[in-house]
A and B are shown apart, each in its own frame.
Chain A
Amino acid sequence: MAVKVSLKVNGKSVVAEVEERTLLVTVIREHLRLTGTHVGCDTAQCGACTVSMNGRAVKSCSMLAMQAEGTEVMTIEGVAHADGTLHPMQAAFKEHHGLQCGFCTPGMVINAIDFAKHHPDPSEQEIREALEGNLCRCTGYHNIVKAIGAGARAMAASK
Chain B
Amino acid sequence: MGAPLIGARVERKEDYRFLTGAGQYTDDVELPRQSYAVFVRSPHAHAILKKISLDQARKAPGFIAAYTGEDFAAAKLGGLPCGWLITDVNGQPMKEPPHPCLAQGKVRHVGDQVAIVIAETSAQARDAAELVAVDYKVLPAVVDGAKARAKGAPQLHDIAPDNTCYVWAIGDKAVADAAFAKAAHVTKLEFINNRLIPNAMEPRVANGAYSRADDSYTLYVASQNPHVERLLMTAFVMGLPEHKVRVVAGDVGGGFGSKIYLYAEDVAVTWAAKQVNRPVKWTSDRSEAFLTDAHGRDHHTVAELAMDKDGKFLAMRVKTTANVGAYLSTFASCVPTILYATLLAGQYKTPVIHCEVTAVFTNTTPVDAYRGAGRPEATYVVERLVETAAREMKLDPAEIRRRNFITEFPYQTPVALQYDIGDYNATMDAAQQLADVAGFSKRKEESVKKGKLRGLGYAAYIEACGIAPSAVAGSLGARAGLFEAGEVRVHPTGSVTVFTGSHSHGQGHETTFAQVVADRLGIGIDSVDIVHGDTSKVLFGMGTYGSRSIAVGGTAIVKALDKIVAKGKKIAAHLLEAAETDVVYDRGIYKVAGTDKQKTFGEVAFAAYVPHNYPHDKLEPGLNENAFYDPANFTFPAGTYVCEVEVDPETGVVKIDKFTAVDDFGKIINPMIVEGQVHGGLTQGIGQALTESCQYDATGQLLTGSFMDYCLPRATDVPFYQVDTRETPCTHNPLGVKGCGEAGAIGAPAALMNAITDALGVKDMPMPATPQAVWKVLNNKQAA
Q: Taking A21-B123, A145-B720 as contacts, is the C-beta distance between A136 and B708 under 8 angstroms?
A: no
The stretch among A1-9, A63-71, A94-102 that forms the contact with chain B is: A94-102
Q: Chain A residues with Cβ under 8 A from B718's Cβ?
A: 140-142
Interface assignment of A13: CB less than 8 Å from any CB of chain B: no
Interface assignment of B203: CB less than 8 Å from any CB of chain A: yes
Interface assignment of B626: CB less than 8 Å from any CB of chain A: no
Q: Scan residues 18-41 of chain A and give those whose CB is less than 8 A from a CB of chain B.
A: 19, 21-22, 33-41
Residue in A34, A37, A90, A105 whose Cβ sees the most chain B Cβ within 10 Å? A105
Distance between Cα atoms of A148 and B744 in the complex (Å): 23
How close is A25's CB to chain B, nearest CB, in angstroms? 12
Interface assignment of A83: CB less than 8 Å from any CB of chain B: no
Task: Check B708–A131 contact: CB distance below 8 A.
Answer: no
Q: Scan residues 707-730 of chain B and give those whose CB is less than 8 A from a CB of chain A.
A: 707-708, 712-716, 718, 720-721
Mark each residue of chain A from 33 to 51: 1 if its CB lies under 8 Å from any CB of chain B, else 0. Answer: 1111111111101101000
Residue of A nearest to B203 (CB): A40
Task: Check B19–A140 contact: CB distance below 8 A.
Answer: no
Task: Check A41–B707 contact: CB distance below 8 A.
Answer: yes
Distance between Cα atoms of A76 and B716 in the complex (Å): 25
Distance between Cα atoms of A144 and B14 in the complex (Å): 17
How close is B501's CB to chain A, nearest CB, in angstroms? 19
Distance between Cα atoms of A132 and B714 in the complex (Å): 7
Interface assignment of B265: CB less than 8 Å from any CB of chain A: no
Q: Chain B residues with Cβ under 8 A from A14's Cβ?
A: none
Task: Check B706–A45 contact: CB distance below 8 A.
Answer: yes
Distance between Cα atoms of A139 and B14 in the complex (Å): 15
Q: Chain A residues with Cβ under 8 A from B19's Cβ?
A: 76, 80, 86, 90, 93-94, 99, 102, 105, 109
Task: Check A105–B18 contact: CB distance below 8 A.
Answer: yes
How close is B680's CB to chain A, nearest CB, in angstroms? 5
Task: Check A132–B715 contact: CB distance below 8 A.
Answer: yes
Residue of B nearest to A124 (CB): B720
Could you say which of B123, B287, B676, B716 contacts A100, with CB atoms under 8 Å apart?
B676
Q: Chain A residues with Cβ under 8 A from B712's Cβ?
A: 135, 137
Could you say which of B28, B201, B707, B716 contacts A136, with CB atoms under 8 Å apart?
B201
Interface assignment of A117: CB less than 8 Å from any CB of chain B: no
Residue of A nearest to B511 (CB): A97
Mark each residue of chain B from 193 to 208: 1 if its CB lies under 8 Å from any CB of chain A, else 0. Answer: 0000001111100000
Q: Chain A residues with Cβ under 8 A from B123's Cβ?
A: 19, 21-22
How close is B559's CB to chain A, nearest CB, in angstroms? 27
Residue of B nearest to A19 (CB): B123
Mark each residue of chain B from 712 to 756: 1 if its CB lies under 8 Å from any CB of chain A, else 0. Answer: 111110101100000000000000000000001000000000000
How close is A19's CB to chain B, nearest CB, in angstroms? 7
How close is B19's CB to chain A, nearest CB, in angstroms? 4
Residue in A34, A38, A137 whose Cβ sees the most chain B Cβ within 10 Å? A137
How close is A128's CB to chain B, nearest CB, in angstroms? 4
Q: Chain A residues with Cβ under 8 A from B679's Cβ?
A: 139-143
Could you say which of B22, B201, B507, B720 contacts A48, with CB atoms under 8 Å apart?
B201
Task: Check B201–A135 contact: CB distance below 8 A.
Answer: yes
Q: Chain A residues with Cβ under 8 A from B28's Cβ?
A: 35
Residue of A nearest to B721 (CB): A142
Residue of A nearest to B288 (CB): A42
Task: Check A42–B285 contact: CB distance below 8 A.
Answer: yes
Q: Taking A97-B673, A140-B682 as contacts, is the C-beta distance between A102 and B715 under 8 angstroms?
A: no
Task: Check A101–B716 contact: CB distance below 8 A.
Answer: no
The stretch among B249-257, B334-342, B442-450, B634-642 that forms the contact with chain A is: B249-257
Count of chain B residues with a beta carbon within 8 Å of a chain A beta carbon: 57
Distance between Cα atoms of A141 and B684 in the complex (Å): 11
Q: Chain B residues with Cβ under 8 A from A99's Cβ?
A: 15, 18-19
Residue of A nearest to B9 (CB): A97
Interface assignment of B658: CB less than 8 Å from any CB of chain A: no
Residue in A90, A94, A97, A138 whose Cβ sees the most chain B Cβ within 10 Å? A138
Q: Scan residues 677-695 of chain B and give those whose CB is less than 8 A from a CB of chain A.
A: 679-684
Q: Scan residues 78-95 of chain A and give those whose CB is less than 8 A from a CB of chain B.
A: 79-80, 84, 86, 90, 93-95
Q: Taking A41-B286, A141-B718 as contacts, is the C-beta distance between A80 and B201 under 8 angstroms?
A: no
Task: Check A45–B707 contact: CB distance below 8 A.
Answer: yes
Distance between Cα atoms of A36 and B21 in the complex (Å): 4
Q: Chain A residues with Cβ under 8 A from B11's Cβ?
A: 94-95, 97
Could you say which of A35, A79, A135, A138 contacts B714, with CB atoms under 8 Å apart?
A135
Distance between Cα atoms of A47 and B652 in the complex (Å): 29
Interface assignment of B133: CB less than 8 Å from any CB of chain A: no
Q: Taking A38-B253, A142-B721 as contacts, is the C-beta distance between A97 and B201 under 8 angstroms?
A: no
Interface assignment of B311: CB less than 8 Å from any CB of chain A: no
How close is B437's CB to chain A, nearest CB, in angstroms? 22
Could you say which of A43, A79, A86 contacts B708, with CB atoms under 8 Å apart?
A43
Mark each residue of chain A from 98 to 134: 1 if its CB lies under 8 Å from any CB of chain B, else 0. Answer: 0111111110010000000000000010011101101
Residue of A nearest to B24 (CB): A35
Task: Check B15–A93 contact: CB distance below 8 A.
Answer: yes
How close is A26's CB to chain B, nearest CB, in angstroms? 8
Task: Check A101–B287 contact: CB distance below 8 A.
Answer: no
Distance between Cα atoms of A99 and B680 in the complex (Å): 11
Q: Chain A residues with Cβ under 8 A from B15's Cβ?
A: 93-94, 99, 102
How close is A79's CB to chain B, nearest CB, in angstroms? 7
Task: Check B254–A103 contact: CB distance below 8 A.
Answer: yes
Q: Chain B residues with Cβ under 8 A from A100's Cβ?
A: 254, 506-508, 676, 680
How close is A135's CB to chain B, nearest CB, in angstroms? 6
Interface assignment of B505: CB less than 8 Å from any CB of chain A: yes
Distance between Cα atoms of A21 and B20 in the complex (Å): 29
Interface assignment of B481: CB less than 8 Å from any CB of chain A: no
Q: Chain B residues with Cβ under 8 A from A142's Cβ?
A: 676, 679, 718, 720-721
Distance between Cα atoms of A22 and B121 in the complex (Å): 12
Residue of B nearest to A143 (CB): B676
Interface assignment of A17: CB less than 8 Å from any CB of chain B: no
Residue of B nearest to A34 (CB): B21
Residue in A86, A90, A97, A104 whose Cβ sees the most chain B Cβ within 10 Å? A97
Distance between Cα atoms of A79 and B508 in the complex (Å): 23
Distance between Cα atoms of A94 and B682 in the complex (Å): 21
Q: Chain A residues with Cβ under 8 A from B253's Cβ?
A: 38, 40, 101-104
Residue in B19, B199, B720 whose Cβ sees the most chain A Cβ within 10 Å? B19
Q: Chain B residues with Cβ under 8 A from A135's Cβ?
A: 201, 707, 712, 714
How close is B338's CB to chain A, nearest CB, in angstroms? 26
How close is A78's CB to chain B, nearest CB, in angstroms? 9
Q: Chain B residues with Cβ under 8 A from A136's Cβ?
A: 201
Interface assignment of B30: CB less than 8 Å from any CB of chain A: yes
Interface assignment of B609: CB less than 8 Å from any CB of chain A: no
Task: Check B708–A102 contact: CB distance below 8 A.
Answer: no
Q: Taking A75-B21, A143-B679 as contacts, is the C-beta distance between A104 and B201 under 8 angstroms?
A: yes
Residue of B nearest to A104 (CB): B201
Task: Check A137–B680 contact: CB distance below 8 A.
Answer: yes
Task: Check B200–A137 contact: CB distance below 8 A.
Answer: yes
Interface assignment of B25: CB less than 8 Å from any CB of chain A: yes
Could you say which of A43, A103, A132 contacts B707, with CB atoms under 8 Å apart?
A43
Interface assignment of B781: CB less than 8 Å from any CB of chain A: no
Q: Chain A residues with Cβ under 8 A from B682's Cβ?
A: 140
Task: Check B286–A101 contact: CB distance below 8 A.
Answer: no
Interface assignment of B23: CB less than 8 Å from any CB of chain A: yes
Distance between Cα atoms of A38 and B26 in the complex (Å): 11
How close is A59's CB to chain B, nearest CB, in angstroms? 13
- Given A34-B21, A102-B15, A129-B715, 13 further pairs, Cβ under 8 A: A36-B22, A40-B253, A41-B707, A46-B201, A46-B707, A79-B21, A80-B19, A101-B202, A101-B252, A102-B14, A103-B23, A103-B25, A137-B684
B residues contacting A by CB (< 8 A) are: 11-12, 14-25, 27-28, 30, 123, 199-203, 251-254, 256, 285-287, 505-508, 672-673, 675-676, 679-684, 706-708, 712-716, 718, 720-721, 744
* 22 A-B residue pairs with CB within 8 Å: A19-B123, A36-B20, A37-B21, A77-B20, A80-B20, A86-B19, A94-B12, A94-B16, A101-B200, A102-B506, A103-B23, A103-B25, A131-B714, A132-B715, A135-B201, A135-B707, A137-B199, A137-B254, A138-B680, A139-B683, A140-B683, A141-B718
